Amino acid sequence: MNKNICFIDGLEGILKYRDVDINELIDLPYDAVSYLLIKGELPEEKELAEYSARLHAERGINREVMDVIRMCNLNIDSMEALLTVVSFISQFDPDLYDNSLEGNMRKAIRLIAVVPTIVAAYYRTANGKEPVPPDPSLAHGANFLYMIKGSKPDPLEAEVMEKDFILSAEHELNASTFSSRVTASTMSDLYSAVVSGLCTLKGPLHGGARSEVMTMIETIGSPENAEKFVLEKIEKREKIMGFGHRVYKTYDPRGTIFKQLSRRLAEAKGDMHWYETAEAIENAVIRELVEKRGKPIYPNIDFYSGVIYKYMEIPPQLATSIFAIGRISGWIAHCFDQYEKKKIIRPRIFMLDEC
């Protein structure tokens, strides 16, 4: 097993999962990347087939879970329902308190498999539609779009969704992964660690930035309004959502891939409007913050992913949950690593001055 879950070079813009560059991982199925993160090695063909079969078999939710979804507030962000439902289902997992590697692996597979179904069922319920049961013949991304839209997705959209989950899967000790690790360090169960991750991911400085990017692009409306908007934000010393990163001081490699994907979608749909609006925002930020003021503020993972959702007609209400669907494999990989250490994370208050 390769022990390096993640490697980031924030100056060169390099990202690797288990020592494999993100640009090599991007064309694999999400299931293979999930396997790599959790088990530490890329799967052989037979291992991948078995892992995928186990994941696809665990996608379903029962009537009780649907009842809980219906009782959630259907008018707010899907993250609120997601963390409620994950907490609820934990109580019925027969392996909840089994902290052996096998018990944790069974829970991991259930969690990775069922989270997309919860998000899709919530979304359809919130929109007055019947939930669509998962299709075990479809890959992770295609199945999610199918459950959202109720029809087999366009191949390019399915590919983009699969790649979105891969790009979102892991990012070292980001805030939500740190939360998950702290929970796991107390030897609490995997569901609790995932709920901790969800609660942290939803903040607007972290995964919540994605939905704010969508709202921002909508507000700006067209390329010619971008510069004025950016200048006003800088003048008021406000953050521009989808830009900047604690670790990357150059282009975020995930942002670069998302930009290419959003261009492909725009071209395939014959509608460059949202892509060109986003590019005008990016150009204005680079000009004003990087070139004029020397600040290393580049588009991060959340910027062009927001553009992709606009083309795929995915509403802002789902954006952070989609991030969570991808990131869950990374959280689990870190929890497994933390369980092995059997050591509680307990920093002293002065260490926060470094954060």
**Order of all β-strands in the sheet with 14-17:** 6-9, 14-17, 20-21
Shortest spacing between CB 54 and ligand CMC, in angstroms:
29
Asked if residue 278 binds ligand CMC (CB under 6 A), the reply is no
297 binds ligand CMC (CB under 6 A): yes
Structure tokens at 166: 């891969």
| Catalytic residue status for 302 | yes
What binding mask, one character per residue, do residues 302-321 give for ligand CMC by CB under 6 A, x or -? Answer: x-------------------
326 scored as a contact of ligand CMC (CB under 6 A):
no
Which of 174, 177, 183, 185 contacts ligand CMC by CB under 6 A?
Answer: 174
Can residue 243 be called a binding residue for ligand CMC (CB under 6 A)? yes
Which is the catalytic residue, given 245, 252, 273, 334?
245
| Minimum CB distance to ligand CMC smaller for 269 or for 295 | 295
Q: Which residues partner with 299 through β-bridges?
A: 243
When binding is defined by CB under 6 A, the residue of 116, 153, 242, 306 that contacts ligand CMC is: 242
> CA 96, CA 177: separation in Å to the nearest integer?
20
246 touches ligand CMC (CB under 6 A): yes
Q: How far apart are CA 355 and CA 349, in angstroms?
A: 11
Q: Does 209 bind ligand CMC (CB under 6 A)?
A: yes
CA distances from 331 to 18, 165, 280 (A): 14, 13, 34
- Which stretch, 67-75, 97-105, 259-267, 299-307, contacts ligand CMC (CB under 6 A)? 299-307
Residues with Cβ within 8 Å of 66's Cβ and at least 6 positions away in sequence, in order, are 121, 125, 131
Q: How many residues bind ligand CMC (CB under 6 A)?
A: 18
Which residue of 56, 124, 245, 259 would you call a contact of ligand CMC, by CB under 6 A?
Answer: 245
Report the nearest approach of ligand CMC to the CB of residue 185 (Å).
21
Cβ-based neighbours of 310, under 8 Å, separated by 6 or more = 214, 217, 218, 274
Report long-range pairs for 94-103 (Cβ below 8 Å, ≥24 apart).
96/189, 96/191, 97/189, 99/187, 99/189, 99/339, 101/336
CA dist., res. 323 & res. 328, Å (int) = 9
DSSP secondary structure of 250-296 = S--HHHHHHHHHHHHHHHHHT--HHHHHHHHHHHHHIIIIIIIT---
Of 302, 334, 337, 353, the active-site residue reads 302
Least distance (Å) from ligand CMC to the CB of residue 115?
17
CB of 251 to ligand CMC, least distance (A): 13
109 lies in the binding site for ligand CMC (CB under 6 A) = no
- Binding segment (CB under 6 A) for ligand CMC, from list 17-25, 37-45, 132-140, 241-249: 241-249
300 binds ligand CMC (CB under 6 A): yes
The answer to whether 259 contacts ligand CMC (rule: CB under 6 A) is no
Q: Is 322 exposed, middle or buried (0-12, 13-18, 19+ CB in 10 A)?
A: buried
Task: Give 43 or 326: the residue with its C-beta nearer to ligand CMC.
Answer: 326
Between 69 and 307, name the residue whose CB sits nearer to ligand CMC: 307
Stretch touching ligand CMC by CB under 6 A, among 153-161, 257-265, 267-275, 298-306? 298-306
Nearest to 226 by CA among 168, 149, 166, 282: 282
Amino acid at 150: G
Residue 249 as a binder of ligand CMC (CB under 6 A): the answer is no
Q: Which residue is nearest to ligand CMC (CB)?
A: 244
Instruction: Report the DSSP beta bridge partners of residue 15.
Output: 8
Residues 6+ apart with CB under 8 A from 232: none
Whether 206 sits among the annotated catalytic residues: the reply is: no
CB of residue 279 to ligand CMC, shortest distance in Å = 17
Q: Which residues are catalytic?
A: 245, 302
Chain residues binding ligand CMC by CB under 6 A are 174, 205-207, 209, 239-246, 295, 297, 300-302
